[in-house]
């Protein structure tokens, strides 16, 4: 059975059981591709690598959307291409590598963490990826994690959102930041500005959506943030349907807002 499903021309997505995590592949016009946030289990990553091999495609570049362990995985089966992340993200990985590794092993003991920290920084403020075979825009922001970046592929009208715009997770704030809610709103503004050029949104966790669904998720996430700031109990169905850890993250955000009034 094929792990990769085509969600837009040249855009392939594999969806994994752990937290509905996605792996995204952007094929080039030639034989090179970009792999974004490959996950999760060693066998799952190897299966994606084997499918690319069967298609005669070589990984020309890797990208991690942000410095959390489930977006920093890599295996030698994917080859040894450059792996990039924003400067702020690579700084965060370097500063916290032992913690990131420990989080990975606690969350999924079988995970392969050998190449976890091997990401190279994009030049500060870079707006595009150095992938000459396709134009890929980097939309960097500070929501959820330092140096988080979404990728926009204009000629495929596709947005790879990292840990934003999920249909299964509420906004998860970076509570170590000075203004986590402000950062999140700013990131949603950035993604909303790109929405007119997007027909396919691929979140790091959850289901792929179309342009209408993208706008619905932006509105939904804004409503969640408003309820959080207004100290209203959240009626967000993602909390009710979701796992215990999601409700615990939400409770931590509620406490943060209360403590920072």
Residues at the interface with Zn ion (CB under 5 A): 70, 163, 204
Min dist. Cβ of residue 205 to Zn ion (A): 6
Q: Which is closer to Zn ion, CB of 205 or CB of 220?
A: 205
CB of 204 to Zn ion, least distance (A): 5
Q: How far apart are CA 8 and CA 14, in angstroms?
A: 13
The answer to whether 171 and 254 are in contact (CB under 8 A) is no
Q: How far is the CB of 169 from Zn ion (least distance, A)?
A: 8
Cβ at position 119, least distance to Zn ion in Å = 15
Q: Which is nearer to Zn ion, 23 or 77 (CB)?
A: 23
- Comparing CB distances to Zn ion, the nearer of 42 and 230 is 42
Residue 10 or 169: which CB sits closer to Zn ion?
169
114 CB neighbour count, 10 Å cutoff: 12
Q: What are phi and psi of 73, to 5 degrees?
A: -75, 155
Contact 64, 83 (CB under 8 A): yes
Token couple for 18: 């752990």
Nearest approach, Cβ of residue 18 and Zn ion (Å):
10
Measured from the CB atom, the residue of 163 and 249 that comes closer to Zn ion is: 163
């Amino acid at each position: 059975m094929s792990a990769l499903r085509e969600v837009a021309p040249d855009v392939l997505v594999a969806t994994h059981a752990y937290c509905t995590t996605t792996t995204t592949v952007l094929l080039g016009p030639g034989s090179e591709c970009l792999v974004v946030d490959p996950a999760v289990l060693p066998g799952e990553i190897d299966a994606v690598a084997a499918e690319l091999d069967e298609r005669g495609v070589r990984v020309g570049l890797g990208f991690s959307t942000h410095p959390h362990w489930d977006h920093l995985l890599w295996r030698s089966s994917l080859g040894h291409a450059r792996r990039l992340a924003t400067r702020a993200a690579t700084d965060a990985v370097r500063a916290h590598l032992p913690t990131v590794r420990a989080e990975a092993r606690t969350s999924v003991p079988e995970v392969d963490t050998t190449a976890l920290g091997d990401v190279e920084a994009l030049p500060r403020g870079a707006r595009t990826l150095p992938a000459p075979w396709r134009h890929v825009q980097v939309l960097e922001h500070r929501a959820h994690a330092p140096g988080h970046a979404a990728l926009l592929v204009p000629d495929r009208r596709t947005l790879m959102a990292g840990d934003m715009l999920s249909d299964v997770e509420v906004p998860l704030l970076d509570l170590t930041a000075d203004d986590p809610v402000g950062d999140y709103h700013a990131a949603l503004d950035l993604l909303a500005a790109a929405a007119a050029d997007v027909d396919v949104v691929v979140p790091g966790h959850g289901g792929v959506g179309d342009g209408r669904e993208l706008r619905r998720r932006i509105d939904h996430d804004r409503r969640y943030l408003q309820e959080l700031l207004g100290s209203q109990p959240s009626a967000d169905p993602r909390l009710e349907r979701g796992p215990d850890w999601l409700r615990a993250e939400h409770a931590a955000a509620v406490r943060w807002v209360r403590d920072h009034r």
